[in-house]
Amino acid sequence: MVKLITPAEAVALFKNNQTVMVGGFLNCGSPELVIDELLKTDLSGFTLIANDTGEADTNRGKLVCAGKIKKAIVSHIGTNPETVRLYNEGKIEIDLQPQGSLAERVRAGGAGLGGILTPVGVGTEVAEGKQIIAVDGKEYLLETPLKAEIALVYATYADKFGNLAFHGSTRNFNALMPPAAEVVIAEVEHISDEPLNPDNIAVPGIYVDYLIDGGHNGAL
């Protein structure tokens, strides 16, 4: 069975300068509890891999505003003015990725692939310093896989074996990131002692190391 821990116990798994994946799409399916605990610590220097840097007062955005992120690999930052300010002041590095490329690079990291080939960016500044590979006469950029020491994700449902299921669009990056991280912490709304229906499982428990009770158990 996967170990059930508190947010405070989860924070003990983090170290300075780690690469951390955080699931969610803005406020949809975003973990909050561990992030709030991280804000109470002196931990910093994280490289964040996420869809976005959130908003200034929510989830990933709070880590940015607290100065805990040194680099963000994301698809957009426009909803967090503080990210823009810190970038303009040279206090954070931003690696903007097309959203599809970001998702596929995470998927490649979890699948053990050497990267992905994409036509996005060919012939532009994006291609500078990157390997270009021709396939059937068409040029593609080789984008390397993304991996992390820790993935912090949200799930709607989990069972004691660590299997995860999602409601609607909360699946987003939460379902992609677990295979690409060494340690996976899932913040879950409903944890069941009974196994989840296999038809509903999006992330097998083999990828999940720890569960955090999101406080809504008993309403499956």
74-122 residue pLDDT tens: 999 999 999 999 999 999 999 999 999 999 999 999 999 999 999 999 9
Assigned token pair, 200: 């509903």
- The whole-number average pLDDT for the span 153-172 is 97
For the chain, the domain total comes to 1
What does DSSP say about strands 138-143 and 181-192: parallel, antiparallel, or unpaired?
unpaired
Q: Tell whether the model's pLDDT for residue 57 goes beyond 80.
A: yes
Q: Percentage of the chain with pLDDT > 70?
A: 98
Q: Tell whether the model's pLDDT for residue 179 goes beyond 90.
A: yes
**H or E element, residue 7:** helix 7-11
| Residue 70 three-state SS | strand
Cα separation, 109 vs 2, whole angstroms: 23
Cα separation, 157 vs 166, whole angstroms: 6
Whether 125 maps to a domain, the answer reads no
Q: Tell whether the model's pLDDT for residue 204 goes beyond 90.
A: yes
What is the structure's pLDDT at 220? 34
Whether 135 maps to a domain, the answer reads no
Enter the DSSP assignment of 21.
E
CATH number of the CATH domain containing 74? 3.40.1080.10
| Domain region containing 26 | 3-114+145-213
Encode burial over 53-62: b for 16+ CB neighbours within 10 A, e otherwise: bbbeebbbbb
Total-model pTM = 0.95
Whether 150 maps to a domain, the answer reads yes
What is the structure's pLDDT at 217? 47
Please answer whether residues 84 and 77 qualify as being in contact, where contact means their C-beta atoms are separated by less than 8 angstroms: yes
Q: Tell whether the model's pLDDT for residue 218 goes beyond 60.
A: no
Whether 130 maps to a domain, the answer reads no
Whether 133 maps to a domain, the answer reads no
